[in-house]
Amino acid sequence: MKSQDNCIFCKIVAGQIPSNKLFEDDELLAFHDIHPKAPVHFLLIPKTHVDSLADCGPGEGDVLARIMLKVPELARQAGCDNGFRTVINTGPDGGQEVYHLHVHVLGGPREQWKAPAP
Ligand code: AMP
Ligand code: ZN
Cα-to-chain-centroid distance, residue 64? 12
| Of 90, 82, 97, 12, the residue nearest 40 (C-alpha) | 82
Nearest partner of 44 among 62, 69, 7, 17, judged by Cα: 69
* Active-site residue list: 102
What is the mean pLDDT, run by run of 10 residues, along the chain of 118 residues? 78 97 98 98 98 97 98 98 98 98 98 94
Atom of ligand 1 nearest to the CA of 87: 3
pLDDT of residue 60: 97
For ligand 1, what atom is nearest to the CA of residue 41?
10
Cβ atoms of residues 15 and 96 within 8 Å: no
- Ligand closest in space to the Cα of 12: 1
Ligand 1 is surrounded, with C-beta below 6 A, by: 8, 17, 19, 31, 33-35, 89, 95-98, 118
**Domains (range + CATH), the chain:** 8-112 (3.30.428.10)
How far, in Å, is the centroid of ligand 2 from the Cα of 88?
15
